[in-house]
Structure 1
Amino acid sequence: MTRRELDAAGITDPELRTAYARCRHLNARHGKTYFLATRLLPVVHRPAVHALYGFARWADDIVDDLDSTATTAERAEALLRLERHLSASLRDGSRGQPVVAALADTAARYAIEPRHFTDFLRSMRSDLEVSEYATYADLRGYMHGSAAVIGLQMLPVLGTVVPREEAEPHAAALGVAFQLTNFLRDVGEDLDRGRLYLPLDLLAAHGVDRDLLQWSRDTKTGDRRITSMLRTAAHLTRDVYRQAAPGIAMLAPVSRPCIRTAFVLYGTILDAIADDGYAVLHRRAVVPRRQRAAVACDGLVRLALARTRGAPAPARPRSTAPRLHGVEGPWSSWKETA
């Protein structure tokens, strides 16, 4: 399948083909939910998505690899080298590290604005320095680079049927919704890394603090205050999904099944968290394989319908990517709504 994707995308250089294959492997290994959805994209555009997500996973591994013995200073230096290498590749097409080579090639093909990658790496660096966020406004600044810009990077690849600036806020919101879902699912694992992404004002509104979370993690003991806090965070995350939803119809028709499938699959993670009693500090919520397959099958049907109707594939844009947008979530009050 990799060969078919690369041939369709017109990627003939052997070195680049190897680079894109590496990105595809990273996406398949780390992002199983989104990798499944990516299979619903037109074949010609899949390598670009693999490059974007492969690079994100590569940088994230530098920061978060628990099996590595690298110090914080060594990780920071590795990120700096990665940023310098990327800057050179974006500037003159120089090659080297395969994931960077694939990303630079994708950025050139789709005229993706380089500052999206700069903002992303800035957020990755903050993970080495910041272990918690006082308010959602503080967290949103981090998520702009770590999540919102991913949605903005994707828009030139997916294509839109409206002016791109109209779709941008929804694409940014979807990236944030996905990341907030991950924060909820992985709160225990993040604590093991010394990080807490749930804002401290959310915790305080429910009588929770970091020590209580750590106690619950260590003792595998539940607490109603923690459950109440996590339930509120899940409700508010769904509000961000609602902000993102109108953007799906703004995409090129043949791209919609992919993004809708990712939208639904990530939403089922929230369902799995709720069904498991918000026990994310003790175990990872898992969506049953049968349920994931059913969502993917629905996406296949939608894709077949789009193709039957003769919907054109998204064109490669000639202009640069648009301005960045922030995401204003309904997080001003942390009182539980259900």
Structure 2
Amino acid sequence: MPPDRTANCIPSPSTKVEHYENFPVASLLCPPALRPAVAAIYHFARTADDIADEGNANPPERLAELAHYRADLELALTGAEASPRWCPVFAALTHAVNDHALPATLLRDLVSAFEQDVRYTAAGHPYRDTGELLAYSKLSANPVGRLLLHLYGIDDRNSLAQSDDICSALQLINFWQDISVDLPRQRHYLPSDCLKRHGLSRDDFMASAQVDAATDKRRAQAVASLCHDARERMLRGAPLAKRIPGRAGWELRLVVQGGLRILDKIEAGGFRTWEHRPTVGKLDAPRLLWRALWMG
């Protein structure tokens, strides 16, 4: 085992990540022995996301930062000391890698997803279809589920496939939840084939768009079809939550129900997420707990 060079770089227990999240991270339901590793994975991914998305840096600057971040990941994978800037993130991740033999490829995929996001946003890249979005989810979302299954000691093919369905569904739900946020930032996740089927363009979803009643109806129908696809994927993966034992299984039940609850709210709002972003909050907790209990 490589020497531990992170002893002088201990993550602060008071570190607070100030981001809205649909779902709990390393919550009380997460098995206590795994909570540090789950938190380390989360902070690793969130920090990379912030490099790609927050602040005023231009795309070349963001890509350069992500390249440095990737280099620090490679150091962490060997137990070497990371740069001071991200020392707390990689100190925790190094311990998780050492303690749980986290698959390096999955961690590298997450960085690749954020690099792709920067490049695609800079180019105004339109996603052709759901298949291209799922290829992105394979890098951006599915690795998280597979890392968690690795921590739980689960690696059979069916479980991995269901985990991918849940994680891809969560990624798609986030896209359709955030249309009003993403489009003004030149993030074009609405797939071109769906827009074409409904006789729409991305400009029709901008806040400044002036559309007639027929176009307005087609906008809602397009979002509804995308949400229907995401719901089907979530339901296809949901049985995994019933097979994972103990607290981890209950947490996954809540994650599944959280995603479905967002879809419910999108539907209740007439699928008009180009106007406002629905969220889950504390008031939704009793409903989520009840639904999780009745998953069987």
* TM-score where L is the length of structure 1: 0.76
Structure-2 residue corresponding to 1:166: 158
Give runs of ≥4 in structure 1 deviating > 6 Å: none
Query: CA contact under 8 A between 2:11 and 2:91: conserved in structure 1?
Result: no
Per-residue CA deviations over 1:254-273 (Å, capped at 9, x if unaligned) read: 31100001110121011011
Kindly state the Cα deviation for residue 229 of structure 1 after the two structures are TM-superposed.
Answer: 0.2
Distance 1:173 1:225, change over 3 A: same
Query: Is 1:38 the equivalent of 2:27?
Result: yes
Per-residue CA deviations over 1:168-188 (Å, capped at 9, x if unaligned) read: 111111111111110010012
Structure-2 residue corresponding to 1:69: 56
Distance 1:33 1:135, change over 3 A: closer
Query: Is 1:126 the equivalent of 2:81?
Result: no
| Coordinate RMSD, CA, aligned | 2.4
Distance 1:37 1:121, change over 3 A: closer
- Which one of 272, 280, 292 corresponds to residue 287 of structure 1? 280
Query: CA contact under 8 A between 2:26 and 2:38: conserved in structure 1?
Result: no
Whole-Å separation in 2 of the counterparts to 1:251 and 1:76: 38
- Which one of 271, 275, 279 corresponds to residue 268 of structure 2? 275
Distance 1:55 1:199, change over 3 A: same
Query: CA contact under 8 A between 1:177 and 1:238: conserved in structure 2?
Result: yes
Structure-2 residue corresponding to 1:189: 181
Query: CA contact under 8 A between 1:37 and 1:262: conserved in structure 2?
Result: no
Query: Is 1:152 the equivalent of 2:139?
Result: no
Kindly state the Cα deviation for residue 200 of structure 1 after the two structures are TM-superposed.
Answer: 0.7
Structure-2 residue corresponding to 1:263: 256
Structure 2 unmatched runs, 5+:
1-5
- Which one of 74, 79, 96 corresponds to residue 92 of structure 1? 79
- Which one of 233, 245, 259 corresponds to residue 252 of structure 1? 245
Per-residue CA deviations over 1:238-287 (Å, capped at 9, x if unaligned) read: 11102211211332333110000111012101101111111211111133
Could you tell me which amino acid in structure 2 is paired with residue 100 of structure 1?
F
Whole-Å separation in 2 of the counterparts to 1:77 and 1:57: 17
Structure-1 residue corresponding to 2:3: none
Query: Greater relative contact order: 1 or 2 (C-alpha under 8 angstroms, separation 6 or more)?
Result: 1
Distance 1:292 1:281, change over 3 A: same
Structure 1 unmatched runs, 5+:
1-11, 303-338
Whole-Å separation in 1 of the counterparts to 2:11 and 2:265: 37
